[in-house]
Structure 1
Amino acid sequence: MTVFVLVAGAFTGPHVWRDTVARLTVEGTEVHTVALTGLGKRPEVPGKAIDLETHIADVLAVIDSVREQAGREIVLVGHDYGIHPVLGAADRRAESIARIVYLDAGMPRDGVPALAAVPDRRLRKELSERAAGSGERVAAGELPPPARDEWSLWGSTAGLSEAALAAPQPLGTLLQPLRLTDAVAAVPVTGVLCTGNGPGMEMLQMMVDVGDPALRALAEARVPFLELPTGLWPMQSCPDMLADVLIEAASGGGRRLTFGGTDRPPAHLRPFLLDVPERPRERTGNTDLYLPDGPGPHPAVVFVHGGPVPAGARPTPRDWPTLTGYARHVAELGVVGVTLDHRLHAVTDYETAAADLAYAVERVRADPRVDAGRIALWFFSGGGPLTADWLAAPPTWLHCVAANYPILSPLPGWGMVDTRFHPVRALAHAGQLPVVLVRAGRESGEIAATVEEFLTEARRCGANVEIIDVPDGRHGFETLDPTDEAREAVHRAVGSVLARLKAKGP
């Protein structure tokens, strides 16, 4: 018999599982929800500091009460922060655990505290500094639950009508490092992805293909994944769907990431959807130029790749078929095509990537074969947040900003709420700078939400935004979906950008 042991995330307790438990019980499974000390359970010793070991002991107590009865397969479900005590307990009872389910949770490592997974960077920094200076006094304190309008700082609230009942999170549970041996590595695992709060399978596969080491390890381990189209709290937003997914997870069901073992190239290295003739390139530093025929000076389009892309990815983005395909295509049409590599290796690297881009643009404008007064910037995917600087203060020589399937506001798990890399907030300052936005109809929910937020702001402030849709296109459709519809969209987008570059006047 399958026995589920459910451990909730930060600030929440057993009550959040109520509806999911009811559905699982109807389906004939046994369910136990863990009351973590301070989050549904009173401390055994009043006044004693509550830390991660306390919560691990809470989970162990439930496991031990269940495993006393033979014939039961224990499935531990760790939601968000809850994966930390789940892993700590499973490491000590590995022989008793049939499977661990990561419910929209990160991948904790030995020696790393849960604080490292807190999305809000300012809070992480503040607590780290306080812990370094105050030690035990901080560990004995509490972190108040988010205010009603602050839950989104911790994850997407998609599907929620109101915040769940919440309790303060004991600080020691976030500050104490998780300690693991190799025992837990033998326990089968399944990941459940909430696609309103983070990437789905297609996006994870792309990240595997470009070389993300942690995800490649999951692909090699054949870890199955399941998806839920909701935010961070599926037990509140879609409890019945969650119950069904947990039952499937317990049986080992789900899709698996792939790595190697096939002759087909990964999605980002497949051919560009247009048959574009080869052209010579000139490579200087992090920048490649594809020059048109004729003496010039010519307008230029700088193509800015997305990310994050692991530092060791090969080939680097400026050699990916989508980027080189666009650059060669515009060069064929009389405009300098520029590709570059920037150092967006993690979501903490946007400042570095922005500096790389600004430096490359100035080098391009200084080239005598380039018309320095006629430049367009074209962004892709995770490069979208880099548009913010150019929208906030458009230089006179910038004639157009284009973006394909872009991220246009920080995603819920990034912890970048008060950041300059927020195109939605920057758009009001763009004036009538033309923006060409190419939307993929089969976009992931989390990215599509940022695009809709951007378009809502565009309507509010009267921004000059042209939308080109690829209804059946996916994120990265230029190499994934070589359809007539997608080719037509590329021709329209290129034509629109070049028309603005070649138009008379400033």
Structure 2
Amino acid sequence: MTAFILVAESFTGGLVWQEVTERLTASGAEVHPATLTGLGDRRDEAGPDTDLETHVADLVRLIDGVTDPELVIVGHGYGIHPVLGAADRRAERIARIVYLDAGLPQDGDPALALIADPAVREELLQPTGTGWGIAPPTAEEWQRWGSVEGLSPAALDRLTGLAAPQPRGTLTRPLALTGALAAVPTTGIICTAGGLSIAVVEMLVASGPPQFRVLARPEVGFFELATGHWPMLSAPAELAETLLRAAAGQGHRITPPAEELPVFLRPFLLDLPEGARERLDRVDLHLPEGEGPHPAIVFVHGGPITADLRPTPRDWPQYVGYGRYAASQGVVGVTVDHRLYGLADYGRAAEDVAVAVELVRADPRVDPDRIAVWFFSGGGLLTTDWLAAPPSWLRCLAATYPVLAPLPSWGVGVDPHFAPTAAVAGAGGLPVVLTRAGLESPEIAATVEEFRTAAADAGVQVETVEVPHGRHGFEVLDHTPESVLAVERAMASVLAHLRA
């Protein structure tokens, strides 16, 4: 029979799995709900040296004590960090790893890395009376660690009562992986109340950075649970059934992209001649004919992307295409490589974009008083500062299939400063040109609709260019007359504002 090791989110221990354990045991499975050092009812065992390595060692000992050969190990939230660390050392013992509403940490990632806002990070690191523990959430604060949808008041009180201070080092020590887990089958269980879904995962595999293609391997399966981040308390029967199905190798498989060529390297939908191009630091200038000074459009790519991805976005056909298209219309097309490598990097990426814009404005071939900035996809959050206080020389802001609010599944990973829907009230007379993909994921589409509503309430002019049959990334995915017309219409609108 199958044996399960269950490892819960921060602050909690094995007792949160009680109902799930009872159901799995009734099915004939062997179940080991883990309580790691210092958590749950082991709160008195932690000390200043308790860290992620302590929790990994806890699980290694537990794995060594399980005799059943079919061992499935489940990591919930933070729990996936010690699960991966321990499974990496006992890979030959693990039949499957289950990511329960958890991220995809890599070698060298500390659990705290996804918290971008320094103020939130500092607050979470405030010590308890011991000096080394992070205080557990109050009943009102659990939402910051994941959706509490589905939890009754009694269940929320129970969760709060079972919580213990989290040893600081468990969140700050980097995860150490050797690569031994590459061949171990995995399952992702997505709690959809957080905003993530299998559909979003499919979109990331189809049109996102290449690191997501690993999710389309045949040994990777997915399930959804229509509840919040604590399914062991809000939907224990459904979770137990899902874990049994996962152990049996069931689950939705993601279809890998039909084309071997990664989406970001597919050709732009317009065939444009190569023109003059100049590289300055992280900026490329696609130059029109004539001495100028010319207006300029700065194109800001989406993300996050991996730091080692090559070629970088300014060499992707999509952005080269936009830069050439701008130059063919008599303006300087600017492409930027900014450093949005993770959810915690929006502040750094915003600084990169601001520096790039000032570099462009200082160029004698550019009219510094006629600038437009055009954002794409996950770069949409970077519109925040430009909307909140637009400078007089910013003649237009454009956004194509943008993410205009942190997605619920991102948790506290994004600095809350980056909130375009709140910022748009400060845009005043700044024209906004928004291109909307009709086949956008519901999660992203919702952020766009909320933004449009907020803009209308604030009296901000937003021209929406519709691509009814277009997907996220339609300029490289959907070479249709509809897509061509949308790109031409958006460019014509931006140019009209630049030349007004």
The worse-fitting range, judged by mean Cα deviation, of 360-369 and 264-273 is 360-369
Secondary structure of the 2:339 match is coil
Q: Note the C-alpha offset of 1:99.
A: 1.6
Partner of 2:4: 4
Secondary structure of the 1:388 match is helix
Deviations 1:70-119, CA, capped at 9 Å, x for gaps:
5x622111111122343455466655432221223245567875444556
Correspondences of 1:448-459 after superposition (within 5 Å)? 448-459=445-456
Given the superposition, is the C-alpha separation of residues 127 and 144 from structure 1 closer, same or farther in structure 2, using an over 3 Å criterion? closer
Secondary structure of the 2:181 match is helix
Aligned partner of 2:71: which letter?
Answer: I
Given the superposition, is the C-alpha separation of residues 355 and 61 from structure 1 closer, same or farther in structure 2, using an over 3 Å criterion? closer
Correspondences of 1:13-92 after superposition (within 5 Å)? 13=13, 17=17, 33-35=33-35, 40-41=40-41, 67=67, 73-87=70-84, 89-90=86-87
Q: Name the CA distance, whole Å, in 2 between partners of 1:494 and 1:461.
A: 25
Asked if structure 1 preserves the Cα contact closer than 8 Å seen for 2:218 and 2:253, the reply is no
Is 1:344 paired with 2:340?
A: yes
Q: Residue 432 of structure 1 is aligned with which of 429, 432, 435? A: 429
Partner of 2:324: 328
Q: Name the CA distance, whole Å, in 1 between partners of 2:464 and 2:332.
A: 24
Aligned partner of 2:278: which letter?
Answer: R
5+ unaligned residues in a row in structure 1: which ranges? none
Partner of 2:166: 170
Partner of 1:415: 413
Secondary structure of the 2:83 match is helix
Correspondences of 1:306-455 after superposition (within 5 Å)? 306-411=302-407, 412-413=410-411, 415-419=413-417, 421-444=418-441, 446-455=443-452
Partner of 1:251: 248
Given the superposition, is the C-alpha separation of residues 225 and 377 from structure 1 closer, same or farther in structure 2, using an over 3 Å criterion? farther
5+ unaligned residues in a row in structure 2: which ranges? none
Secondary structure of the 1:406 match is coil
Percent identity for Structure 1 against Structure 2: 53
Q: Note the C-alpha offset of 1:402.
A: 0.9
Asked if structure 2 preserves the Cα contact closer than 8 Å seen for 1:100 and 1:189, the reply is yes
Asked if structure 2 preserves the Cα contact closer than 8 Å seen for 1:153 and 1:417, the reply is no
Asked if structure 2 preserves the Cα contact closer than 8 Å seen for 1:119 and 1:153, the reply is no
Q: Name the CA distance, whole Å, in 2 between partners of 1:350 and 1:435.
A: 21
Q: Note the C-alpha offset of 1:157.
A: 5.3
Given the superposition, is the C-alpha separation of residues 187 and 383 from structure 1 closer, same or farther in structure 2, using an over 3 Å criterion? closer
Secondary structure of the 1:338 match is strand
Aligned partner of 1:8: which letter?
Answer: A
> RMSD between aligned alpha carbons?
4.3
Is 1:281 paired with 2:276?
A: yes
Aligned partner of 2:327: which letter?
Answer: A
Partner of 1:192: 188
Q: Note the C-alpha offset of 1:308.
A: 2.6
Asked if structure 2 preserves the Cα contact closer than 8 Å seen for 1:379 and 1:387, the reply is yes
Aligned partner of 2:422: which letter?
Answer: R
Asked if structure 1 preserves the Cα contact closer than 8 Å seen for 2:46 and 2:167, the reply is no
Deviations 1:355-379, CA, capped at 9 Å, x for gaps:
3323332343344554433221110
Deviations 1:156-185, CA, capped at 9 Å, x for gaps:
556768783322333257258478686963
Secondary structure of the 1:185 match is coil
Q: Note the C-alpha offset of 1:3.
A: 3.5
Given the two structures, how large is their TM-score scaled by the length of structure 1? Answer: 0.78
Given the superposition, is the C-alpha separation of residues 299 and 138 from structure 1 closer, same or farther in structure 2, using an over 3 Å criterion? same
Given the superposition, is the C-alpha separation of residues 256 and 485 from structure 1 closer, same or farther in structure 2, using an over 3 Å criterion? same
Q: Name the CA distance, whole Å, in 2 between partners of 1:352 and 1:110.
A: 22
Aligned partner of 1:203: which letter?
Answer: L
Q: Note the C-alpha offset of 1:190.
A: 0.9
Aligned partner of 2:322: which letter?
Answer: Y
Secondary structure of the 2:131 match is helix
Given the two structures, how large is their TM-score scaled by the length of structure 2? Answer: 0.78
Partner of 1:144: 136
Partner of 1:97: 94
Asked if structure 2 preserves the Cα contact closer than 8 Å seen for 1:384 and 1:407, the reply is yes
